[in-house]
Amino acid sequence: MKLTKTIITTSDGSKTIAIKEWNEHYHSTHGAIQESKHVYIDAGLNAIGNNISPVRILEFGFGTGLNALLTFQHAEQNNLPVEYHSIEAFPVDKNLIEQLDYPEKLDLPRTVFNKMHQTPFYENIKLTGNFSLYKIKQKFEDFHPKETYYNLVYFDVFGARVQPELWQPAILQKAYQALTKNGIFVTYAAKGQLKRDLKVLGFTIETLSGPPGKREMIRAVKI
Ligand SMILES: C[S@@+](CC[C@H](N)C(=O)[O-])C[C@H]1O[C@@H](n2cnc3c(N)ncnc32)[C@H](O)[C@@H]1O
């Protein structure tokens, strides 16, 4: 199905992409930057121990690059080395990326954001001394992770309402395999079935308060 993508403004004033045919968005309409920061930076990156360097992150769904940009900002502000790997099968068109306002909203140079998008797939690019980016152009279904390599997984796929197949144990298991012992998995979702599936895989589950507009979110730790 051909998907129609348009830019919309969310409640915190930052933009995101809407998919008309699915009535779905790349981020929460209650605040794109707020949601990404709450789920992936505050509940994820901030929960990683100080003794880990570099922090190796695997993202499911590069999308607009907002999570990557927020992570870059955190790495720079905290002088924290980060290796950021991100999987994306359907990169966002350049004309939509140009309409996103994240660098301006986060007071970061547009050149950094552009470079993240222009970085070819399968090339390891050092954006600064602290932050390197490696993008993987693949469907999650076909992805085989580097096992026990990552400290943190950002599980940021579209909702189960529109892509239920991406929330199945077979995909979640890839995240589990990718993580080191004590590695952290974070996602904006909080469904009971997801918690049960993660538990069966070998995670311990924490239910945390969600970003604006969402009561709960999940943080899971590989034991
Ligand atoms: C919620 S968005 C990711 C948002 C992103 N993390 C950000 O910061 O903008 C989900 C992403 O998953 C990608 N995607 C959807 N189905 C996929 C699949 N089967 N394999 C790989 N990527 C997929 C979409 O193209 C989209 O970019």
Tell which residue, 161, 220, 217, 219, has the closest CA to residue 189.
Answer: 217
Tokens representing residue 99 in the block: 């309409």
> Rounded CA gap, 162 and 65, in Å?
21
The arithmetic mean of pLDDT across residues 83-94, rounded, is 98
Q: Which is nearest to 212 in space by CA: 14, 2, 23, 29?
A: 29
Q: What is the pTM of this model?
A: 0.98
- For ligand 1, is residue 26 a contact (CB within 6 Å)? yes
Backbone angles phi, psi at 54, to 5 degrees: -75, 160
Using the structure block, give the residue that is written with the tokens 């604006």. Answer: 212
Query: Rounded CA gap, 191 and 63, in Å?
Result: 23
- Residue 44 near residue 59 (C-beta atoms within 8 A): no
Is the pLDDT reported for residue 1 higher than 90?
A: no
User: 150-155 and 55-60 as β-strands: parallel, antiparallel, unpaired?
Assistant: parallel
Q: How much is the average pLDDT of 122-137? A: 97
For ligand 1, the distance from its centroid to the CA atom of residue 36, given in whole angstroms, is 14
CA atoms of 165 and 205, how far apart (whole Å): 21
Testing ligand 1's pocket by substitution, the residue of 1, 21, 62, 155 carrying the most ligand atoms inside 8 A of its CB is 62
Q: How far apart are CA 202 and CA 173, in angstroms?
A: 9
* Strand 179-187 with 216-222, pairing: antiparallel
The pLDDT tens digits for 30-80 are 999 999 999 999 999 999 988 999 999 999 999 999 999 999 999 999 999
Give the residue, by CA position, lying nearest to ligand 1 atom 20: 139
Q: Token pair 């085989």 is at which residue?
A: 144
Sequence spans of domains, the chain: 31-222
For 31-222, CATH number?
3.40.50.150
- Each residue's pLDDT tens digit, 131-144: 999 999 999 999 99
Q: Is ligand 1 within 6 A of the CB of residue 67?
A: yes
Token pair of 144, please? 């085989």
**Closest listed residue to residue 71, CA positions, set 211, 196, 194, 186:** 186
pLDDT at 59: 99
